[in-house]
Structure 1
Amino acid sequence: MKSYRKELYFNIPSRRGLVNITPQVQQAIRDSGIKEGLVLINAMNITASVFINDDESGLHQDFETWLEGLAPEKPYSRYHHNGFEDNADAHLKRSVMGRETVVAVTDGKLDFGTWEQIFYYEFDGKRQKHVLIKIIGE
């Protein structure tokens, strides 16, 4: 069995931002030479998520509205974590959206259902963050 590791780096200019990383993940699969296996895509920061869903702008706005309703950024004083930092809401949003996703690799391609895409979602941006891509297989 072979393995391949790649990191993607992000500098989201706003506090929150959503990036479709499907093309970068597919390129990593091509670069790996692995035809059959699994790919793990993992947000390597506690205030960001990786997940699979549809690449549709209305849905992206629905995520933002829903998450802000569950864990509003302000007032900062509502959270016990906020003291040295002001990102408790980002930690909670990440807990809801998840840390990583795993996708099957078949014939050297992401083995997706209709409309599925991979997204990086940042909840506490304005500094460099990264995502791990780990591919295993043959």
Structure 2
Amino acid sequence: MIELSTNRGCEIVDITPQVQRAVRDSGVIDGICLVYTLHTTTALIVNEAESGLLIDIIDKIREIVPGVGYRHGENGPAHLQASLLGNSVVVPVEKGIPLLGTWQRILFVELDGPRRRRVGVKVMGSDVAR
């Protein structure tokens, strides 16, 4: 389990190092890693962690789902934004590490912060080093 605290209402946090550690600690050599958020107002994506792009992602998701006019209440937009982005990612594991492209990072998207958050990591594979 990854635990983190967010600092703003909307922000993107690179959790790649924590996921890499979870994969390493699992002992799985070849398989898959499921990363999932335990919250309905957060999301997970795989993308580049360049600061300008992260701001663009937040700006565009706010543009697609603006912050007013929802029956659910104050955090209604965060629920809709999260549902558009998705609550999990699956990454292949090869040679004991998550298989990511050169610029790919596993990104946690906070949409209703600041809060304490939890992200589950499940690593599965048939070749386990013991």
Q: What CA distance in whole angstroms lies between the structure 2 residues aligned with 1:14 and 1:40?
A: 26
Residue 104 (structure 1) aligned with residue 98 (structure 2): no
| Aligned residue number for residue 36 of structure 2 | 42
| Aligned residue number for residue 80 of structure 1 | 71
Q: Deviations over 1:62-92 (max 9, x none)?
A: 101101111122x3xx11111xxx1001001
| Aligned residue number for residue 130 of structure 1 | 118
Residue 15 (structure 1) aligned with residue 9 (structure 2): yes
Give structure 2 stretches of 5+ with no counterpart: none
User: Normalising by structure 2, what TM-score?
Assistant: 0.92
Deviation for aligned residue 1:61: 1.0
Partner AA of 2:25 in structure 1: D
Aligned pairs, number: 126
Partner AA of 1:134 in structure 2: K
User: Normalising by structure 1, what TM-score?
Assistant: 0.87
Percent identity between the two aligned chains: 36
Alignment of 1:58-77 (within 5 A): 58-73=52-67, 75=68
Q: What CA distance in whole angstroms lies between the structure 2 residues aligned with 1:11 and 1:90?
A: 17
Partner AA of 1:80 in structure 2: R
| Aligned residue number for residue 118 of structure 1 | 106
After the TM superposition, which segments of 4 or more aligned residues of structure 1 sit over 6 Å from their partners?
Answer: none
Deviation for aligned residue 1:49: 0.5
Give structure 1 stretches of 5+ with no counterpart: 1-6
RMSD: 1.0
